[in-house]
Amino acid sequence: MAGSTPLQKREVDDENESSSSMRTAETILRLLPMGLCVVALVIMLKNSQTNEYGSLSYSDLGTFRYLVHANGICAGYSLLSAIVAAVPRPITMSRAWTFFLLDQILTYVILAAGAVSTEVVYLAYKGDTAVTWSESCVSFGGFCHKATVSVSITFIVSLCYAGLSLLTSYQLFSKYDAPVSFYNNKGRIEIATY
């Protein structure tokens, strides 16, 4: 970390450029899960099957209802946050904290939705003899297939949100000083990197 003036100028330019490309990356990372959430939501909403064994709809399983809600909330939040992220403005402290916390919560919500739905799909395919749960997918193959697709998309959304969490935690915490740092005689921060 040298302190000469031309280098500082270049650093500022680099900062602005990286800030702009980060804003683009963030907007894309928010629009992508929005689209995926809507697709996962629509597939699950339309998922019902009626045959000689009876009829089965997504709303019969509490887990899939949760998946639909989680995807709906995620799509709405992704759209709103993409709009906010796309506007070229300096990232304030309160905005960084809000994005950071909401992204973390959304990541956990969507990951949990994906995980519990996977569990239900798995049980529906494999059943469990110990607790006498039948393999429902033998009778409702089409339903199970659509559910699997919806759940898989939800997992891709989880991955996007894990990336977003990383990005917003960088945006937030890079505003703070390093926990272990010392000052040199020029008054600039030197970070201990071994």
Residues contributing to the site for a second copy (CB under 8 A): 3, 8, 11-12, 15, 18-19, 22, 56-57, 60-63, 90-93, 104, 108, 111-112, 115-116, 118-120, 122-124, 126, 128, 130-134, 136, 140, 162, 165-166, 169-183, 186-189, 191-194
Rounded Cα gap, residues 1 and 19, in angstroms = 20
Q: At closest approach, how far in Å is the CB of 66 from a second copy?
A: 9
Rounded Cα gap, residues 130 and 123, in angstroms = 12
Residue closer to a second copy by CB (options 77, 140) is 140
Do 104 and 165 contact (CB within 8 A), yes or no?
yes
Do 178 and 191 contact (CB within 8 A), yes or no?
yes
Q: At closest approach, how far in Å is the CB of 157 from a second copy?
A: 14
Q: At closest approach, how far in Å is the CB of 79 from a second copy?
A: 23
- The phi and psi torsions of 103 (rounded to 5 degrees) equal -65, -40
Q: What amino acid is encoded at 5 in this protein?
A: T
CA-closest candidate to residue 118, choices 74, 161, 69, 66: 66
Residue closer to a second copy by CB (options 42, 166) is 166
Residue closer to a second copy by CB (options 14, 76) is 14
Q: At closest approach, how far in Å is the CB of 85 from a second copy?
A: 12
Residue that is written with structure tokens 């639909």 in the block? 68
Q: At closest approach, how far in Å is the CB of 45 from a second copy?
A: 16
Residue that is written with structure tokens 């602005």 in the block? 16
Residue closer to a second copy by CB (options 80, 178) is 178
